[in-house]
Structure 1
Amino acid sequence: MTETVQRTFSPTPEEVAKFHERGYLGPFKVYEEDEMRRIWRRERLRLMNRDNAVYDEGDAQAGNTNIANYDRHLDSQFLADHICHPRIVDRVTAVLGPSVLCWRSEFFPKYPGDEGTDWHQADTFAFASGKPQILWPEEEKEFGGTITVWTAFTEAAEDTGCLQFIPGTHRTMFYDESKGMHYQPDKINESRKGDVNRGFYGYDYRDLQKDPDWRPPEERAISMVMRPGEAVMFWSTMMHASKPHSAMDKEMRLGFAGRYVPTCVAVYPDTDDVDEYGGRISLKDYGAVLVAGVDTYGHNRKVTATTRGYTFPAR
Structure 2
Amino acid sequence: MTTSQQTSFALTSDERAQFERDGFLGPIKIYEVEEMEERWKNIQRQLRDRSHAIYPENGGKASSISNYDRHLDIDLLSEHIMKQEIVERVASILGPNLLCWRSEFFPKYQGDEGTDWHQAANFAHASGTPQIVWPSENGQPAFGGTITVWTAFTHSTKENGCLQLMPGTHTQMNYDESKGMSYQADNVNAQEKDGIKRGFFGYDYRQLQKDPNWTPDESKAFPLVMKPGECVIFWSTLMHASLPHTGSKKDYRMGYAARFVPTQVQIYPGTDEVSEYGGGIVLDKYGAVLVSGHDEYGHNRIAKESQRGFQFIPHQLG
Per the TM superposition, whether the score is higher than 0.5 is: yes
Look up the match of 1:42. Answer: 42
TM-score normalized by the length of structure 1: 0.92
* Alpha-carbon RMSD: 1.9
* Identical pairs, percent: 56
Look up the match of 2:69. Answer: 71
Query: Equivalents in 2 of 1:278, 1:44: separation in Å?
Result: 24
Report the CA distance between 1:251 and its aligned residue. Answer: 2.1
Letter of the aligned partner of 1:80 in structure 2? S
Call closer, same or farther: CA 1:142–1:119 in 2, change over 3 Å: same
Does the residue aligned with 2:285 lie in a helix, a strand or coil? Answer: coil
Look up the match of 2:264. Answer: 264
5 Å matches for 1:1-315? Answer: 7-58=7-58, 65-139=63-137, 143-187=143-187, 190-193=191-194, 195-305=195-305, 308-309=308-309
Query: Equivalents in 2 of 1:56, 1:124: separation in Å?
Result: 25
Query: Equivalents in 2 of 1:50, 1:307: separation in Å?
Result: 16
Report the CA distance between 1:38 and its aligned residue. Answer: 1.0
Letter of the aligned partner of 2:106 in structure 1? F
Query: Equivalents in 2 of 1:22, 1:6: separation in Å?
Result: 25
Call closer, same or farther: CA 1:279–1:171 in 2, change over 3 Å: same
Post-superposition, which runs of at least 4 consecutive aligned residues in structure 1 deviate over 2 A? Answer: 58-62, 139-143, 187-193
Does the residue aligned with 2:66 lie in a helix, a strand or coil? Answer: helix
Assess if the C-alpha contact under 8 Å between 2:98 and 2:291 holds in 1. Answer: yes
Query: Equivalents in 2 of 1:61, 1:144: separation in Å?
Result: 33
Report the CA distance between 1:142 and its aligned residue. Answer: 5.6
Query: CA offsets, 1:31-60, max 9 Å, x none?
Result: 100011111112201111000000011359
Assess if the C-alpha contact under 8 Å between 1:156 and 1:228 holds in 2. Answer: yes
Assess if the C-alpha contact under 8 Å between 1:52 and 1:307 holds in 2. Answer: no
Query: CA offsets, 1:71-112, max 9 Å, x none?
Result: 000000000000000110011000000100000000000001
Letter of the aligned partner of 2:97 in structure 1? S
Please, which moves more after superposition, 183-192 or 83-92? 183-192
TM-score normalized by the length of structure 2: 0.91
Assess if the C-alpha contact under 8 Å between 1:60 and 1:66 holds in 2. Answer: no
May I ask how many residue pairs the two structures share in their alignment?
Answer: 304
Assess if the C-alpha contact under 8 Å between 2:75 and 2:309 holds in 1. Answer: no
Assess if the C-alpha contact under 8 Å between 1:77 and 1:306 holds in 2. Answer: no
Report the CA distance between 1:123 and its aligned residue. Answer: 0.6
Query: Equivalents in 2 of 1:6, 1:270: separation in Å?
Result: 42
Query: Equivalents in 2 of 1:309, 1:201: separation in Å?
Result: 29
Letter of the aligned partner of 2:67 in structure 1? N
